Structure 1
Amino acid sequence: MAPKDVRMPKWDADVTVTGKRAGASVSWHVPEEAPVALVYNGLNHAVMLASPADLGDFALGFSVTEGIVKRPDDIRTIEVFEKDQGIDLMITLADAPFERFKLKHSRRAMTGRTGCGLCGIDSMEELFQTVRPVAEMPAALDEAVVRKAVCAFDGLQPLKKLNRSVHGAAWVTLAGDITLVREDVGRHNALDKLLGALMRDGTDMTAGFVLVSSRASYEMAQKCVAVGAPALVCLSAPTAFAIRLAQEARLTLANWSTDGLVSF
């Protein structure tokens, strides 16, 4: 399975606009929010607002972390089609996962804001189902390793350099080296893009950790648990709900600030 991008030059992740300041024209870079439809075997499941970049990775990451499929091999093809109104991600599922999807799809369809959380659940009870632990014991994070990654993070976010208003998600090795970064106007989208790219590349999820520029909410922790990532480091505070999920799943959830590393 490999994403096939069929692109026309309609949507760009960064847009230059003109404004006025004290009567003079000023030029700004702003992020684009593109309506992105996730369509499975012809059935429209969700419309998200996302940065129009790395959408094949987004489709794969979203599909796995939102429970549409159990593994990347459940997806046969991903095609990306741009049009004036937005972008269609045409995703073809294998027969068995498509049958499961049809059962759930008959109950709901959804429209998401910019990387909405809790996409595709049918009831609050789904939030409290028993989760499979990602490890026997929570991973230990070395503060020096995390500091090394955090110091390099800003310099590896080209879209953020332009408009200063997008989120980033990075994969960090156990030595503190960032090997992959994805960006998006939505924090959930950035994480889905990163996790999708990691799965596409066959990355060993036990050999590193995820670093995000945002807070760690429940759904950010849930996405990491869904792919078996052992640790999530955020640059803003986690929520209490996220901490409870992380503890149940033995996911190391940590915050980095000027005070250093705090793990929960």
Structure 2
Amino acid sequence: MSEGSVPHLFDRLRADGGGEAVTRAVAVERPIAIEFNGIGYAVMMATPADREDFAIGFALSERLIPGAASVLEIDVHPRPEGDILRVTLARECADGVLDRVRHRVSESSCGLCGIENLEQALRPLPAVTARSRADGPALFRALGDLRARQPLNRETGAVHAAALCSAAGEVLLVREDVGRHNAFDKLIGAMARAGIGWDGGFALLSSRCSYELVEKAALADCPLLVTISAATDLAIARAASCGLRLVMLARSDAMLAIPS
């Protein structure tokens, strides 16, 4: 079993009326409390793997830091009831954390932590400056190769994946989590920690295209976001507002590209 799974006993029921006891892997889902500079910021339900990547990607997606260099230290504290990520940010980022905490009205995994009104929820996104060189065959190649790069999902059948793919469609880096937002944050954080850019490539996500994922992609300057399931109307509108290309309903025989 991997760090993100545990064994569990089940009764398998068969169509012929028979059955037997089986053991299979179950995805781990734990509360992960994130603290920035000693201030409790959010509690997320996530898979306890790649936690440092998650901390950095989450901070970037929350617009708390301009880059990975602003994260000075990450301490992981496992507890029986969950994990605590104590993140030390550069001094110039502290006021942003305090402002968001002061105005928090909800705690969610949907990108709305510390938002106090509708205008803040739909703040303008930065224009996407990166460009993808990937063509149709590259998208299909990456889609075909993604399953082989999802070890935790092969074990459990219960987690999402976010992948960095090259312009030619090679799957370069993958992060998995029970939450689609968390998986993308982990990928963004891993890229930031390693100093990796999109380099003409794209992101491939095994999920629907919600507006929160569009926002994370835009803030990471991702030029092209490809998702297995469909996009919402708000996701399409937000992507158009910042110049992010979207491809949705990615299947082995066809995909839908949103006209730019």
| Mapped contact 1:206–1:230 kept (Cα < 8 A) | no
Asked if 1:238 is matched to 2:234, the reply is no
Asked if 1:180 is matched to 2:176, the reply is no
Structure 1 pair 131–116 and aligned structure 2 pair: CA distance change class (3 A): closer
The Cα offsets for residues 94-117 of structure 1, whole Å up to 9 and x where unpaired, read as 1111122112212227543xx434
> In structure 1, which of residues 114, 119, 122 is the aligned counterpart of residue 113 of structure 2?
119
Aligned to 1:7: none
CA-CA distance at 1:163 after TM superposition: 0.7
Asked if 1:163 is matched to 2:156, the reply is yes
Give the secondary structure class of the aligned counterpart of 1:28.
strand
Mapped to 1, the partners of 2:133 and 2:256 lie a distance apart of 11
Mapped to 2, the partners of 1:151 and 1:259 lie a distance apart of 10
CA-CA distance at 1:175 after TM superposition: 1.1
CA-CA distance at 1:80 after TM superposition: 1.0
Sequence identity percentage: 36
Mapped to 2, the partners of 1:126 and 1:141 lie a distance apart of 33
Structure 1 pair 99–127 and aligned structure 2 pair: CA distance change class (3 A): closer
CA-CA distance at 1:78 after TM superposition: 1.0
Question: How many residues are paired up?
Answer: 251
Aligned to 1:84: 80
The Cα offsets for residues 127-180 of structure 1, whole Å up to 9 and x where unpaired, read as 3332221038x7464110001101100000000110111100000000111110
Asked if 1:15 is matched to 2:11, the reply is no
Mapped to 1, the partners of 2:95 and 2:158 lie a distance apart of 39
> 5 Å matches for 1:39-54?
39-54=35-50
Mapped to 1, the partners of 2:184 and 2:7 lie a distance apart of 25
Structure 1 pair 257–21 and aligned structure 2 pair: CA distance change class (3 A): closer
Aligned to 1:131: 125
Structure 1: gaps spanning 5 or more residues: 1-10
**Aligned letter for 2:60?**
V
Asked if 1:223 is matched to 2:216, the reply is yes
**Aligned letter for 2:186?**
K
| Mapped contact 1:65–1:192 kept (Cα < 8 A) | yes
Aligned to 1:75: 71
Give the secondary structure class of the aligned counterpart of 2:128.
coil
Aligned to 1:59: 55
Q: TM-score, normalised by structure 1?
A: 0.89
Structure 2: gaps spanning 5 or more residues: 14-18
Aligned to 1:4: none
**Aligned letter for 1:142?**
D
CA-CA distance at 1:240 after TM superposition: 0.9
| Mapped contact 1:46–1:110 kept (Cα < 8 A) | no
Mapped to 2, the partners of 1:139 and 1:211 lie a distance apart of 13
The Cα offsets for residues 18-46 of structure 1, whole Å up to 9 and x where unpaired, read as 12245632212111111100001111100
> In structure 1, which of residues 253, 256, 260 is the aligned counterpart of residue 254 of structure 2?
260
Mapped to 1, the partners of 2:132 and 2:198 lie a distance apart of 12
Q: TM-score, normalised by structure 2?
A: 0.90
Asked if 1:101 is matched to 2:97, the reply is yes
| Mapped contact 1:172–1:209 kept (Cα < 8 A) | yes
Whichever structure has more strand as a proportion of its residues is 1
